[in-house]
């Protein structure tokens, strides 16, 4: 079953969100219109941890879906809460962009070249924790705003560097401004970073059929493992949790290889482990790795008793 109706595709109003949404919409193969939705995360100038972290960029789009104001919503997958939303399904997980973090520094410096005391901006507790754990003597400062705002702080000399998701910069055509793509061995990305989640109403079979053509199986498997780890840790997208999975051919067929980390925000402690399993049990791989991380003390580093 296919649809000939015009699909209303909801997006946040930021340049990056619009760019991601327009790319997805153009690939649908059906008529569409873009609908801009303002979220709580867009309205607030506070740090994500102060305004609720998980879901602040998502709930308004989901409400619009359930109220039949839009038919499809495009999210940065890492922004989604791990709990399923009643009445909504993820119809597609398109092929992932580069999941790594990226440094944009003055004078084209790399992370290791930044002098002790350099001011580095990021809005992510995960990045704060992992940067502190490197022991480079950097001053990590909170950062909000769109990509332009963040990069301008480096150009204007307010900051010596900022750390952003490489995927967003690439999607905006600004990957050439990156001075170093950070190795996941140093800084492990957020679960589902670089991936998109395209949602629709669970009852809208026509939209589900259209979205199915955009789904990328290996990406869905990888982010399923990463987010299962996050859910089992009972942590949200603002927690100091890193995870990155890849799908590769193993001795007994396709396997998912998952790395996970939890780091104390001050960088004084960290636990990092990995796990492997069949792609058919991606969520199980994530849950098992989370249990191993907790057994090694990860819950205390998140400041909670998991």
- Which residues carry out catalysis? 79
18: its two tokens: 């619009």
Angle between helix 282-295 and 217-232 (nearest 10)? 30
**C-alpha triplet 221, 188, 212: angle, nearest 5°:** 25
Both tokens of 67, joined, read 């109220």
Across the chain, where does the E strand assignment appear? 7-11, 32-36, 72-76, 88-92, 101-105, 119-122, 139-142, 161-165, 180-181, 196-201, 241-250, 253-263, 270-278
- Least Cα distance to 229 among 288, 302, 305 occurs for 288
Answer for the pair 181, 102: CB distance below 8 angstroms, yes or no: yes
Tokens of 16: 């990056």
Q: 73 with 7: CB under 8 angstroms?
A: no
For the beta carbon of residue 19, count every other beta carbon within 10 angstroms: 15
Residue 83 neighbours by CB distance under 10 Å? 9
**CA distances from residue 273 to 227, 262, 301 in whole angstroms, order as listed:** 15, 9, 15
Report the C-alpha gap between 173 and 176 in whole angstroms: 8
Q: What is the Cα–Cα distance from 66 to 73, expressed in whole angstroms?
A: 11
């Amino acid at each position: 079953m296919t649809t000939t109706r015009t699909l209303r595709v909801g997006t946040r109003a930021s340049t990056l969100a619009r760019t991601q949404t327009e790319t997805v919409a153009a690939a649908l193969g059906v008529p569409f219109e873009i609908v801009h939705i303002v979220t709580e995360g867009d309205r607030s100038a506070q740090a994500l941890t102060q305004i609720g972290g998980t879901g602040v960029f998502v709930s308004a789009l989901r409400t619009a879906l359930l109220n039949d104001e839009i038919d499809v919503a495009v999210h940065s997958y890492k922004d989604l809460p791990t709990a399923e939303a009643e009445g909504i399904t993820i119809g597609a997980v398109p092929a992932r962009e580069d999941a790594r973090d990226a440094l944009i520094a003055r004078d084209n410096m790399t992370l290791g070249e930044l002098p002790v005391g350099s001011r580095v901006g990021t809005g992510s507790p995960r990045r704060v924790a992992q940067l502190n754990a490197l022991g480079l003597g950097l001053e990590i400062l909170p950062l909000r705003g769109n990509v332009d705002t963040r990069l301008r702080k480096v150009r204007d000399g307010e900051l010596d560097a900022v750390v952003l998701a490489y995927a967003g910069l690439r999607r905006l055509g600004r990957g050439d401004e990156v001075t170093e793509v950070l190795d996941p061995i140093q800084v492990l990305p957020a679960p589902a970073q670089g991936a998109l989640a395209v949602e629709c109403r669970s009852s809208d079979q026509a939209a589900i059929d259209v979205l199915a053509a955009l789904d990328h199986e290996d990406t869905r498997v990888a982010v399923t493992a990463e987010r299962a780890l996050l859910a089992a840790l009972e942590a949200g997208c603002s927690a100091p949790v890193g995870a990155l999975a890849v799908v590769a051919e193993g001795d007994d067929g396709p396997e998912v290889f998952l790395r996970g980390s939890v780091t104390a925000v001050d960088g004084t402690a960290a636990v990092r482990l990995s796990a492997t399993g069949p792609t058919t049990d991606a969520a199980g791989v994530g849950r098992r790795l989370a249990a191993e991380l907790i057994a090694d003390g990860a819950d205390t580093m998140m400041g909670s008793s998991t």
